[in-house]
Structure 1
Amino acid sequence: MIEESGRVVAVEPGAVWVETLRKSTCSSCSARAGCGQGLLGELGLGQRRGHMRALSDLSLCIGDAVVIGVREDLLVRGSLLVYLMPLLGLFAGALLMQSTGAAEPWVIVSGFAGMLLAWYGVRRRSALTAHDPALQPVVVRRVQAAAIAAV
């Protein structure tokens, strides 16, 4: 399970809204000294807070520190869906039009149409499965006050 710590900002029946700090991977990058993204991160300009709804069966209050988690297979499948499907749509549209012997501008337009059609399919599937509890992040545990003071 991929975990991220955050703080509860709202409570709903069976779920909580958690605020997390979006971090970049610049601390582990060897080129961070010459990178503009690393410079913005050092200045604090790249840090934004994200809000995420997570399912929880714990009794939590606003301000509690928690750890939320997402299953790895969900992250991989979601990444493949979001990044690979539009790319496959682009190739399929372009190859389909090229197989008919159409001119190059029509092949390009058809490729972009295939990409947009695949993107629309991904959006539609995402909207249909947005409320599936098996696909939602969950609160893994509450972080104790002693653990927060130690950090």
Structure 2
Amino acid sequence: MIEEQGRVVAVEPGAVWVETLRKSTCSSCSVKAGCGQGLLDQLGASGRRGYVRALSSLQLAVGDGVIIGVREDLLVRGSLLVYLLPLLGLFSVAILAEQLGLSEPWVILSALFGFLFACCAVRWRSRFTAGDPALQPVVLRALLAGTATAF
């Protein structure tokens, strides 16, 4: 389980909205100078606050510190879906167009169509599974008042 500390900013029946502070490990990375994330870190974009809806069966109030978690396999599957599927769509349709003997401009347009189609498929899948409780972050535990990090 991947865990993150946050603070409750809103309470709903069965869920809470948690504010987290986005952190970056760019200061310890050896290639931080050549990375877009490192540039954003230098510009101060990594210190922004993020808001996450997490399922909770605990009685929480606004301002409570909590630990939220998401399963590792969900993160890996989601990353593969978001990053790999559009690339597979791009390359597979481009190769198919090449095998059909289309000219280069048509291969490029076909590749873009495959990329956009795969992106639409990812978006459809995310909307289809958005309400699935098994795929949602959850509140693992509440923090004591003295142990919560200031937000």
- The 1-side partners of 2:125 and 2:81 are apart by 10
Alpha-carbon deviations, 1:86-139, whole Å to 9, x = none? Answer: 000001110111111010111011011001001100100100000000000000
Q: Shift of residue 145 of structure 1?
A: 1.8
Match of 2:11 in 1: 11
Aligned length: 149
Relative to the length of structure 2, the TM-score reads 0.90
41 and 115 in structure 1: CA distance in 2 versus 1, 3 angstrom threshold: closer
Give the 5 Å matches for 1:1-151: 1-32=1-32, 38=38, 41=41, 44-148=44-148
Q: Shift of residue 37 of structure 1?
A: 5.6
- The 2-side partners of 1:33 and 1:98 are apart by 38
Q: Shift of residue 44 of structure 1?
A: 4.0
Q: Any idea what SS the aligned residue of 1:46 has?
A: helix
Further displaced range: 83-92 or 41-50: 41-50
- How many percent of aligned residue pairs carry the same amino acid? 68
Give unmatched runs, 5+ long, in structure 1: none
Q: Shift of residue 40 of structure 1?
A: 5.9
Coordinate RMSD, CA, aligned = 2.1
Q: Shift of residue 23 of structure 1?
A: 1.1
Give unmatched runs, 5+ long, in structure 2: none
Relative to the length of structure 1, the TM-score reads 0.90
